[in-house]
Amino acid sequence: MNCWFTEMQTPDMAISCRVKKTLHEEKTPFQHLAVYETDQFGRMLALDDVIQTTIMDEFVYHEMITHVGLNTHPNPRRVLVIGGGDGGSIREILKHPSVELATLVEIDERVIAAAREYLPEISCALGDPRVRVIVDDGIKHVKENRDTYDMIIVDSTDPVGPAEGLFGRAFYQDVHDALTGDGLFVAQTESPFFNRDLIPRIIQNVRSIFPVTRLFLACVPTYPGGLWTFTMGSKKYDPLEANLEQLPDLKTRYYTPAVHRAAFVLPPFVEELLQSE
Ligand code: SAM
């Protein structure tokens, strides 16, 4: 059998991967959802033909979108994930003993159902008693919940369709207002190679709302360009000054205190994105 999945990562560039088996495929009210079995990446979740997560490299993304922020805040108790229906961010959040409640607000319940069925390694913590799963639009949820969360993680799809509003200034203002007095948020903010217009806009918007704004990097091979950015907006705590001594054993494969610090060392072509207007 010679069946390939192809994602057009830009109009002129694609990533392809041989598919051993299509495990699941459906059109949900929000997107085309597919789970593939592959030799290269293990099981793979794609939405609208865009790779969301794979068994091979999901740990990098999920550890970095969660632990950098959770170890910057001294006592994160209530944590919100917007998007993230695969459950990977929730799995990592629950490794922190300070967390009392982890809330997942995912717009598409079919993503959660598919992850539960086909990606148990990623979705395994969704049934934990400390987890609350809400099927709703994250934009609406932050508007309706003020002064509630110590940390918010924006684990979204790319800025098109239902996720478009998750990259705008009004949303970051609502995130700010949904956070407690010393809260912080981390969002996945796309590729420093291919999103060179978007990232400076995000940085400008976050800077206009949060006293501390930081960009950091991680390597996620199945995302366009392999190098990925995350943006943190924080009301008080600076990730560069975080006390990373005596952390609990997080059983991570990418994140360590040294990686935490190193992730904020930006090559000049990325630093430029923080300077541009
Ligand atoms: N790690 C992934 C990436 O960067 O490709 C993101 C994975 S996660 C599956 C993204 C989720 O965000 C999708 O399941 C999608 O349904 C959800 N999503 C998109 N827009 C949303 C919104 N406005 N509110 C809540 N969830 C949303």
For residue 207, give the CATH number of its domain. 3.40.50.150
Whether the CB of 108 sits within 6 Å of ligand 1: yes
- Burial (Cβ within 10 Å: 0-12, 13-18, ≥19) of residue 208: exposed
pLDDT score of 250 = 95
> Ligand 1: which residue has its CA nearest to atom 15?
83
Closest C-alpha residue for ligand 1 atom 21: 163
Q: Is the Cβ atom of 163 under 6 angstroms away from ligand 1?
A: yes
Domain boundary (54, 75, 91) is at 54
173 assigned binding-site residue = no
Q: What is the mean pLDDT of residues 192-208?
A: 97
CA of 82 to the centre of ligand 1 (A): 7
Residues 15 and 80 grouped into a single domain: no
Nearest CA to ligand 1 atom 14: 85
Confidence of residue 43 (pLDDT cuts 50, 70, 90): very high
Query: What average pLDDT score do residues 46-66 get?
Result: 98
Do residues 20 and 67 share a domain? no
- What is the distance in A from the centroid of ligand 1 to the CA of 31? 11
Q: What is the CATH number of the domain that holds 45?
A: 2.30.140.10
Q: Are residues 48 and 110 in the same domain?
A: no
Query: 106 CA distance to ligand 1 centroid (A)?
Result: 7
Question: How many domains does the chain contain in total?
Answer: 2
The better pLDDT of the pair 277, 12 is held by 12
| pLDDT band of 246, cuts 50, 70, 90 | confident
> Percentage of the chain surpassing pLDDT 90?
96
178 and 215 fall within a common domain: yes
ipTM entry: 0.98
SS3 260: helix
User: Which pLDDT value is given to residue 198?
Assistant: 96
pLDDT mean over 69-98: 98
Q: What digits encode the pLDDT tens for the residues 137-158?
A: 999 999 999 999 999 999 999 9
To the question of whether residue 229 is assigned a binding role by annotation, the answer is no
> Do 23 and 96 belong to one domain?
no
- Residue ranges of E strands in 139-254: 149-155, 179-188, 212-219, 227-234
Q: Which amino acid is at 15?
A: I
pLDDT reading at 170 higher than 90: yes
Domain that holds residue 109: 58-275
Whether residues 81 and 33 share a domain: the answer is no
Would the CB of 192 count as within 6 Å of ligand 1? no
Picking from 176, 229, 274, 179, the residue whose alpha carbon sits closest to that of residue 68 is 229
One of 136, 155, 174, 182 is an active-site residue; which one?
155
Is 37 in a helix, a strand, or coil?
strand
Provide the sign of the torsion angle of the four alpha carbons 147, 151, 156, 158, taken in this order. Answer: positive
According to the model, what pLDDT value does residue 2 have?
81
Single out the residue in 39, 54, 69 at which a domain terminates: 54
Please tell me the pTM assigned to this model.
Answer: 0.97
Q: What is the mean pLDDT of residues 156-183?
A: 95
Is residue 57 within 6 Å of ligand 1 at its C-beta?
A: no
pLDDT of 263 above 60: yes
Tokens 């069946």 belong to residue: 3
Longest CA pairwise span in the chain (Å): 56
Model confidence at 277, pLDDT cuts 50, 70, 90, reads: low
- Do residues 185 and 199 share a domain? yes
The answer to whether the CB of 154 is under 6 A from ligand 1 is no
Asked whether residue 147 is marked as a ligand-binding residue, the answer is no
With bands split at pLDDT 50, 70 and 90, how would you rate the model's confidence at 276?
low
State the chain's mean pLDDT as an integer. Answer: 97
**Do 202 and 271 belong together in one domain?**
yes
Tell me if 150 CB under 6 Å of ligand 1: no
pLDDT beyond 70 at 79? yes
Is 155 among the catalytic positions?
Answer: yes
